[in-house]
Protein backbone atom coordinates (compact mmCIF):
# COMPACT_ATOMS: atom_id res chain seq x y z
CA UNK A 1 0.00 0.00 0.00
CA UNK A 2 2.80 2.38 0.89
CA UNK A 3 4.63 1.51 -2.29
CA UNK A 4 1.49 2.13 -4.24
CA UNK A 5 1.18 5.50 -2.55
CA UNK A 6 4.67 6.49 -3.68
CA UNK A 7 4.00 5.25 -7.19
CA UNK A 8 0.71 7.08 -7.61
CA UNK A 9 2.10 10.19 -5.98
CA UNK A 10 4.97 10.27 -8.41
CA UNK A 11 2.46 10.59 -11.18
CA UNK A 12 0.00 12.81 -9.37
CA UNK A 13 2.59 15.37 -8.40
CA UNK A 14 4.72 15.21 -11.53
CA UNK A 15 3.17 18.44 -12.74
CA UNK A 16 3.62 20.37 -9.50
CA UNK A 17 6.77 22.33 -8.89
CA UNK A 18 10.15 22.08 -10.52
CA UNK A 19 11.28 18.77 -8.99
CA UNK A 20 8.77 16.16 -10.13
CA UNK A 21 9.82 13.88 -7.27
CA UNK A 22 9.69 16.53 -4.57
CA UNK A 23 6.47 15.25 -3.04
CA UNK A 24 7.47 11.63 -3.41
CA UNK A 25 10.67 12.29 -1.51
CA UNK A 26 8.86 14.07 1.25
CA UNK A 27 6.28 11.33 1.47
CA UNK A 28 9.04 8.72 1.61
CA UNK A 29 10.68 10.64 4.41
CA UNK A 30 7.43 10.64 6.36
CA UNK A 31 6.93 6.95 5.73
CA UNK A 32 10.38 6.20 7.13
CA UNK A 33 9.74 8.49 10.06
CA UNK A 34 6.41 6.76 10.51
CA UNK A 35 8.02 3.31 10.50
CA UNK A 36 10.39 4.36 13.27
CA UNK A 37 7.52 5.87 15.17
CA UNK A 38 5.56 2.64 14.78
CA UNK A 39 8.50 0.59 16.03
CA UNK A 40 8.84 2.93 18.97
CA UNK A 41 5.16 2.61 19.74
CA UNK A 42 5.30 -1.18 19.55
CA UNK A 43 8.10 -1.32 22.07
CA UNK A 44 6.10 0.33 24.84
CA UNK A 45 3.36 -1.66 26.56
CA UNK A 46 0.13 0.04 25.66
CA UNK A 47 -1.46 -0.74 29.01
CA UNK A 48 0.81 1.85 30.57
CA UNK A 49 -0.89 4.53 28.52
CA UNK A 50 -3.95 4.48 30.83
CA UNK A 51 -1.92 6.32 33.40
CA UNK A 52 -1.21 9.19 31.08
CA UNK A 53 -4.86 9.74 30.14
CA UNK A 54 -5.11 13.22 31.66
CA UNK A 55 -1.72 14.27 30.43
CA UNK A 56 -2.54 13.24 26.89
CA UNK A 57 -5.93 14.95 27.09
CA UNK A 58 -4.19 18.09 28.30
CA UNK A 59 -1.59 18.04 25.55
CA UNK A 60 -4.34 17.43 23.00
CA UNK A 61 -6.31 20.47 24.11
CA UNK A 62 -3.20 22.65 24.25
CA UNK A 63 -2.11 21.59 20.79
CA UNK A 64 -5.52 22.23 19.33
CA UNK A 65 -5.70 25.56 21.07
CA UNK A 66 -2.20 26.60 19.96
CA UNK A 67 -3.00 25.95 16.36
CA UNK A 68 -5.85 28.41 16.62
CA UNK A 69 -3.46 31.11 17.70
CA UNK A 70 -0.35 30.59 15.64
CA UNK A 71 -1.62 28.30 12.94
CA UNK A 72 -1.31 28.73 9.19
CA UNK A 73 -4.52 29.04 7.28
CA UNK A 74 -5.12 27.01 4.18
CA UNK A 75 -8.31 26.54 2.22
CA UNK A 76 -10.26 28.41 4.84
CA UNK A 77 -9.07 26.16 7.61
CA UNK A 78 -6.59 27.00 10.30
CA UNK A 79 -5.03 23.73 11.24
CA UNK A 80 -1.31 23.85 10.66
CA UNK A 81 1.58 24.84 12.84
CA UNK A 82 5.10 25.24 11.62
CA UNK A 83 7.63 22.86 13.08
CA UNK A 84 10.93 23.86 11.57
CA UNK A 85 10.65 23.30 7.85
CA UNK A 86 7.49 21.24 8.18
CA UNK A 87 3.95 22.28 8.50
CA UNK A 88 2.41 20.12 11.12
CA UNK A 89 -1.26 19.34 11.56
CA UNK A 90 -2.02 18.67 15.23
CA UNK A 91 -5.58 17.57 14.58
CA UNK A 92 -4.20 14.46 12.86
CA UNK A 93 -2.13 13.37 15.83
CA UNK A 94 -5.06 14.52 17.91
CA UNK A 95 -7.03 11.63 16.52
CA UNK A 96 -4.72 9.15 18.21
CA UNK A 97 -4.63 11.09 21.43
CA UNK A 98 -8.38 11.37 21.56
CA UNK A 99 -8.68 7.64 20.93
CA UNK A 100 -6.27 6.81 23.75
CA UNK A 101 -7.72 9.06 26.37
CA UNK A 102 -11.31 8.32 25.43
CA UNK A 103 -10.46 4.62 25.68
CA UNK A 104 -9.07 5.19 29.14
CA UNK A 105 -12.13 7.28 30.02
CA UNK A 106 -14.50 4.56 28.89
CA UNK A 107 -12.60 1.76 30.63
CA UNK A 108 -13.42 3.41 33.94
CA UNK A 109 -17.12 3.38 33.07
CA UNK A 110 -17.21 -0.19 31.95
CA UNK A 111 -20.72 -1.61 32.21
CA UNK A 112 -22.24 1.76 33.11
CA UNK A 113 -23.22 2.94 29.67
CA UNK A 114 -26.74 1.55 29.38
CA UNK A 115 -28.71 4.76 29.85
CA UNK A 116 -28.66 8.04 28.05
CA UNK A 117 -27.74 9.70 31.34
CA UNK A 118 -24.55 7.62 31.44
CA UNK A 119 -23.57 8.72 27.97
CA UNK A 120 -23.75 12.43 28.64
CA UNK A 121 -20.37 12.65 30.47
CA UNK A 122 -18.78 10.76 27.57
CA UNK A 123 -20.12 13.24 25.08
CA UNK A 124 -19.01 16.13 27.24
CA UNK A 125 -15.54 14.65 27.53
CA UNK A 126 -15.41 14.29 23.78
CA UNK A 127 -17.02 17.55 22.87
CA UNK A 128 -14.16 19.77 24.03
CA UNK A 129 -11.57 18.57 21.51
CA UNK A 130 -14.32 18.23 18.92
CA UNK A 131 -15.35 21.81 19.49
CA UNK A 132 -11.77 22.96 18.98
CA UNK A 133 -11.54 21.07 15.71
CA UNK A 134 -14.79 22.58 14.50
CA UNK A 135 -13.50 25.98 15.49
CA UNK A 136 -10.54 25.41 13.20
CA UNK A 137 -13.00 25.01 10.39
CA UNK A 138 -11.97 21.41 9.81
CA UNK A 139 -15.29 19.79 9.21
CA UNK A 140 -13.84 16.53 7.88
CA UNK A 141 -11.76 15.86 10.99
CA UNK A 142 -14.72 16.77 13.16
CA UNK A 143 -16.77 14.11 11.44
CA UNK A 144 -13.93 11.64 11.94
CA UNK A 145 -13.97 12.49 15.67
CA UNK A 146 -17.67 11.80 15.79
CA UNK A 147 -17.21 8.48 13.99
CA UNK A 148 -14.49 7.53 16.47
CA UNK A 149 -16.68 8.51 19.40
CA UNK A 150 -19.62 6.43 18.35
CA UNK A 151 -17.51 3.46 17.29
CA UNK A 152 -15.82 3.36 20.65
CA UNK A 153 -19.05 3.81 22.60
CA UNK A 154 -20.46 0.87 20.68
CA UNK A 155 -17.52 -1.31 21.57
CA UNK A 156 -17.53 -0.09 25.16
CA UNK A 157 -20.99 -1.54 25.60
CA UNK A 158 -23.41 1.29 24.97
CA UNK A 159 -26.79 0.10 23.70
CA UNK A 160 -26.60 0.07 19.89
CA UNK A 161 -30.24 1.11 19.63
CA UNK A 162 -29.61 4.16 21.79
CA UNK A 163 -26.52 5.15 19.80
CA UNK A 164 -28.45 4.72 16.58
CA UNK A 165 -31.22 6.95 17.92
CA UNK A 166 -28.77 9.67 18.87
CA UNK A 167 -26.99 9.41 15.55
CA UNK A 168 -30.23 9.40 13.57
CA UNK A 169 -31.59 12.23 15.66
CA UNK A 170 -28.58 14.43 15.10
CA UNK A 171 -28.60 13.68 11.40
CA UNK A 172 -32.25 14.66 11.20
CA UNK A 173 -31.44 17.79 13.18
CA UNK A 174 -28.61 18.63 10.83
CA UNK A 175 -30.84 18.24 7.78
CA UNK A 176 -33.48 20.36 9.43
CA UNK A 177 -30.92 23.02 10.27
CA UNK A 178 -29.72 23.06 6.66
CA UNK A 179 -33.28 23.33 5.42
CA UNK A 180 -33.92 26.24 7.75
CA UNK A 181 -30.68 27.87 6.72
CA UNK A 182 -31.76 27.96 3.11
CA UNK A 183 -35.35 28.84 3.88
CA UNK A 184 -36.25 32.52 4.18
CA UNK A 185 -35.47 32.27 7.89
CA UNK A 186 -31.70 32.07 7.26
CA UNK A 187 -30.95 30.19 10.40
CA UNK A 188 -27.35 31.04 11.16
CA UNK A 189 -25.06 28.00 11.14
CA UNK A 190 -21.53 27.71 12.52
CA UNK A 191 -20.39 26.68 9.03
CA UNK A 192 -19.11 28.72 6.15
CA UNK A 193 -21.30 28.81 3.08
CA UNK A 194 -18.74 26.99 0.98
CA UNK A 195 -18.77 24.10 3.43
CA UNK A 196 -22.52 23.82 3.34
CA UNK A 197 -22.53 23.95 -0.43
CA UNK A 198 -19.96 21.20 -0.62
CA UNK A 199 -21.98 19.15 1.82
CA UNK A 200 -25.11 19.11 -0.24
CA UNK A 201 -23.95 19.44 -3.80
CA UNK A 202 -22.95 15.79 -4.14
CA UNK A 203 -26.62 14.93 -4.48
CA UNK A 204 -26.53 16.63 -7.85
CA UNK A 205 -23.20 18.15 -8.88
CA UNK A 206 -24.89 19.92 -11.79
CA UNK A 207 -26.43 22.40 -9.42
CA UNK A 208 -23.21 24.27 -9.56
CA UNK A 209 -20.93 22.60 -12.11
CA UNK A 210 -18.41 25.44 -12.09
CA UNK A 211 -18.42 25.90 -8.34
CA UNK A 212 -19.17 23.49 -5.55
CA UNK A 213 -20.02 20.65 -7.90
CA UNK A 214 -16.85 21.07 -9.94
CA UNK A 215 -14.63 18.79 -7.87
CA UNK A 216 -17.14 15.97 -7.88
CA UNK A 217 -17.72 16.22 -11.59
CA UNK A 218 -14.04 16.27 -12.41
CA UNK A 219 -13.43 13.35 -10.09
CA UNK A 220 -16.23 11.35 -11.67
CA UNK A 221 -14.85 12.14 -15.11
CA UNK A 222 -11.39 11.08 -14.01
CA UNK A 223 -12.46 7.77 -12.51
CA UNK A 224 -15.07 7.04 -15.17
CA UNK A 225 -12.73 7.75 -18.05
CA UNK A 226 -10.13 5.44 -16.53
CA UNK A 227 -12.18 2.44 -17.54
CA UNK A 228 -10.96 -1.05 -16.76
CA UNK A 229 -7.29 -0.74 -17.61
CA UNK A 230 -6.73 2.91 -16.82
CA UNK A 231 -4.82 5.40 -18.88
CA UNK A 232 -1.51 4.49 -17.37
CA UNK A 233 0.62 6.41 -14.91
CA UNK A 234 1.43 9.93 -16.11
CA UNK A 235 -1.22 9.65 -18.80
CA UNK A 236 -4.39 10.71 -17.03
CA UNK A 237 -5.50 13.90 -18.69
CA UNK A 238 -7.71 14.89 -15.77
CA UNK A 239 -4.77 14.66 -13.40
CA UNK A 240 -1.93 15.82 -15.56
CA UNK A 241 -3.82 18.85 -16.88
CA UNK A 242 -5.00 19.82 -13.42
CA UNK A 243 -8.68 19.44 -14.13
CA UNK A 244 -8.83 17.41 -10.96
CA UNK A 245 -8.16 19.57 -7.94
CA UNK A 246 -6.29 18.36 -4.85
CA UNK A 247 -5.36 15.26 -6.76
CA UNK A 248 -2.37 14.38 -4.57
CA UNK A 249 -4.27 14.68 -1.29
CA UNK A 250 -8.02 14.39 -1.05
CA UNK A 251 -8.56 13.09 -4.56
CA UNK A 252 -5.70 10.62 -4.77
CA UNK A 253 -8.19 7.83 -5.30
CA UNK A 254 -9.39 9.55 -8.48
CA UNK A 255 -5.82 9.45 -9.72
CA UNK A 256 -5.71 5.72 -9.07
CA UNK A 257 -9.05 5.37 -10.82
CA UNK A 258 -8.04 7.34 -13.88
CA UNK A 259 -4.49 6.15 -14.40
CA UNK A 260 -4.70 2.58 -13.10
CA UNK A 261 -8.34 1.96 -13.98
CA UNK A 262 -10.69 -0.43 -12.28
CA UNK A 263 -7.84 -2.84 -11.91
CA UNK A 264 -5.87 -0.45 -9.71
CA UNK A 265 -8.85 1.04 -7.87
CA UNK A 266 -10.28 -2.41 -7.18
CA UNK A 267 -6.90 -3.55 -5.91
CA UNK A 268 -6.74 -0.57 -3.56
CA UNK A 269 -10.22 -1.38 -2.27
CA UNK A 270 -9.12 -4.97 -1.73
CA UNK A 271 -6.05 -3.89 0.25
CA UNK A 272 -8.20 -1.63 2.41
CA UNK A 273 -10.58 -4.46 3.02
CA UNK A 274 -7.69 -6.63 4.24
CA UNK A 275 -6.43 -3.86 6.51
CA UNK A 276 -9.85 -3.13 7.96
CA UNK A 277 -10.75 -6.75 8.33
CA UNK A 278 -7.43 -7.50 10.10
CA UNK A 279 -8.01 -4.52 12.36
CA UNK A 280 -11.43 -5.86 13.31
CA UNK A 281 -9.80 -9.16 14.15
CA UNK A 282 -7.16 -7.43 16.24
CA UNK A 283 -9.89 -5.49 18.01
CA UNK A 284 -11.68 -8.54 19.18
CA UNK A 285 -8.58 -10.45 20.02
CA UNK A 286 -7.26 -7.73 22.32
CA UNK A 287 -6.72 -8.98 25.81
CA UNK A 288 -8.54 -6.13 27.59
CA UNK A 289 -11.16 -3.47 27.00
CA UNK A 290 -8.57 -0.69 26.82
CA UNK A 291 -6.77 -2.39 23.94
CA UNK A 292 -10.03 -3.24 22.28
CA UNK A 293 -11.23 0.36 22.49
CA UNK A 294 -7.98 1.72 21.05
CA UNK A 295 -8.05 -0.61 18.06
CA UNK A 296 -11.75 -0.02 17.76
CA UNK A 297 -11.21 3.72 17.66
CA UNK A 298 -8.58 3.33 15.02
CA UNK A 299 -10.88 0.99 13.14
CA UNK A 300 -13.70 3.56 13.24
CA UNK A 301 -11.33 6.23 12.06
CA UNK A 302 -10.00 4.25 9.13
CA UNK A 303 -13.32 2.90 8.09
CA UNK A 304 -14.81 6.37 8.14
CA UNK A 305 -11.85 7.82 6.24
CA UNK A 306 -12.07 5.16 3.57
CA UNK A 307 -15.83 5.30 3.18
CA UNK A 308 -15.91 9.07 3.23
CA UNK A 309 -12.94 9.71 0.97
CA UNK A 310 -13.58 7.10 -1.68
CA UNK A 311 -17.30 7.75 -1.42
CA UNK A 312 -16.73 11.39 -2.20
CA UNK A 313 -14.56 10.69 -5.22
CA UNK A 314 -17.23 8.53 -6.75
CA UNK A 315 -20.11 10.80 -5.84
CA UNK A 316 -21.58 8.83 -2.97
CA UNK A 317 -20.60 11.12 -0.12
CA UNK A 318 -20.38 14.84 0.35
CA UNK A 319 -17.03 16.52 -0.04
CA UNK A 320 -15.52 17.12 3.38
CA UNK A 321 -11.86 17.14 2.57
CA UNK A 322 -10.42 14.25 4.51
CA UNK A 323 -7.53 12.27 3.09
CA UNK A 324 -7.23 8.59 2.31
CA UNK A 325 -5.09 6.63 4.83
CA UNK A 326 -1.68 5.47 3.51
CA UNK A 327 -2.33 6.81 0.00
CA UNK A 328 -2.82 10.55 0.28
CA UNK A 329 0.10 12.88 0.46
CA UNK A 330 0.45 14.45 3.89
CA UNK A 331 3.11 14.05 6.56
CA UNK A 332 1.10 14.38 9.74
CA UNK A 333 -1.52 12.04 8.47
CA UNK A 334 1.00 9.46 7.34
CA UNK A 335 2.72 9.66 10.72
CA UNK A 336 -0.62 9.31 12.49
CA UNK A 337 -1.53 6.24 10.50
CA UNK A 338 1.86 4.64 11.07
CA UNK A 339 1.52 5.21 14.79
CA UNK A 340 -1.93 3.64 14.60
CA UNK A 341 -0.41 0.63 12.90
CA UNK A 342 2.15 0.53 15.67
CA UNK A 343 -0.56 0.69 18.31
CA UNK A 344 -2.58 -2.07 16.71
CA UNK A 345 0.48 -4.28 16.41
CA UNK A 346 1.36 -3.43 19.98
CA UNK A 347 -2.07 -4.49 21.18
CA UNK A 348 -2.20 -7.53 18.99
CA UNK A 349 1.25 -8.71 20.00
CA UNK A 350 0.29 -8.47 23.65
CA UNK A 351 -2.98 -10.38 23.27
CA UNK A 352 -1.42 -13.24 25.24
CA UNK A 353 0.92 -12.33 28.03
CA UNK A 354 3.18 -15.28 27.45
CA UNK A 355 4.63 -13.75 24.31
CA UNK A 356 6.77 -11.24 26.10
Partner 1 sequence: MVDRRLEGKYKFLQWLTIAIFAVLTVRLITLQLWEAPVYRTKAKLNQFRFLPIRAPRGDIVDRNGKVLAANKIVNTVSIVRQQIDGKDLDRTINKLAGLLHDVYPEIDAAYIKRQLEEHQSRSYEPVVVKRDVSVEVVSRLEERRRDLPGVVIGKEIVRYYPEGTLASHLLGYIGEISKEELENRQNENYKLGDLVGRFGLEKQYEKYLRGVDGFQQVEVDVSGRPIPHSDLITVNPKQGDRLVLTLDGDLQKVLEASMDKALADLRKKGLPGRAGAAVVLDVRTGAVLAMTSRPNFDPNLLVPPVSDKAAQEYLNPPGGADPTMINRAISSKYPPGSTFKPITGMAALESGKITTEETIVCKGRYWLPPFTKCWRVHGTVDFFRAMAVSCNVYFIEAGRRAGVDMITRVAHEFGLDEKTGIDLPGEVAGSFLTPEKKEKKYGPVVEKWYRQKQDELEKEYAGRLARAKSERERNDILIQKKYAERDLKVWYRNKYNQDAKWQPYDTYFMSFGQGSNEYTPIGLANYVATLANGGKRMRPYLVQRIEDRNGKVIARFRPEVVRRVDISSKTLDTVKQAMREVAGGEGGTAAWLFNDLPFKVAAKTGTAESGRGDGLYHGVFVAFAPTDKPEIAFAGIIECGSHGSESMGPVAKDVFKEYFGLNKLQQPQEQQTKTGAGNNLPAVRQPSQTERPRPQRPPVSGNQPEPGTTPAQPPQQPGNGTTPPVDGRQQDGQQSDTRPPSGDQPSGGVPGAQP
- Contact residues toward partner 1 (CB under 8 A) are 154-155, 210-211, 218, 220-228, 237-238, 241-243, 245, 257, 261-262, 265-266, 269, 272-273, 276-277, 280-281, 283-285, 292, 299, 303, 306-307, 310-311, 314-316
How many Cβ atoms are within 10 Å of 180's Cβ, its own excluded? Answer: 14
Our CB check for partner 1 shows the closer of 131 and 157 to be: 157
Separation of alpha carbons 228 and 226, rounded Å: 7
CB 349, min distance to partner 1, A? 15
In angstroms, what is the minimal distance from the CB of 273 to partner 1?
5
Name the minimum Å distance from CB 277 to partner 1.
Answer: 6
Eight-state DSSP code of residue 232: -
CB of 131 or CB of 224, closer to partner 1: 224
- Sign of the CA dihedral with 114 first, then 120, 125, and 128 last: positive
Q: Is the dihedral of CA 328, 276, 291, 170 positive or negative?
A: positive
Minimum gap (Å) between residue 82 Cβ and partner 1: 26
Identity of the residue, 190 or 245, whose beta carbon is nearer to partner 1 in the bound complex = 245
Backbone angles phi, psi at 11, to 5 degrees: -80, -40
CB 350 within 8 A of CB 46: yes
What's the min distance (Å) between Cβ of 309 and partner 1?
10
Cβ closer to partner 1: 139 or 310?
Answer: 310
Q: How far is the CB of 278 from partner 1 (least distance, A)?
A: 11
CA–CA distance, 122 with 105 (Å, rounded to integer): 8
Q: Which is nearer to partner 1, 131 or 311 (CB)?
A: 311
Distance CA 316, CA 320 (A): 12
Q: β-strand 77-83 against 86-88: which pairing, if any?
A: antiparallel
Residue closer to partner 1, measured from CB, 71 or 261: 261
Separation between Cα atoms, residue 162 and residue 100, nearest integer Å: 24
Determine how many CB atoms are found less than 10 A away from the CB of residue 158: 23
Minimum distance from CB of 37 to partner 1 (Å)? 26
- Closest to partner 1 by CB, 283 vs 332, is 283
Amino acid sequence: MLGLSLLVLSSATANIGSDPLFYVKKQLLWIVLGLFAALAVISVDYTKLVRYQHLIYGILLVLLAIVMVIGHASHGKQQWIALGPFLFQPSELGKIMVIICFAAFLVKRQGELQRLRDLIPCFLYFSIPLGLVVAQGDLGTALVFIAICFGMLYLAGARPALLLKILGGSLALAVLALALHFSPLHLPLPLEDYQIKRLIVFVNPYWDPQGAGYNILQSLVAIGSGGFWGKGLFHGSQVQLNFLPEHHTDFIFSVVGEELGFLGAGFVLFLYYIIVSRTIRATFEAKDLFGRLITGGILSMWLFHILQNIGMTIGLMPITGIPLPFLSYGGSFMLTNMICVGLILNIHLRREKMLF
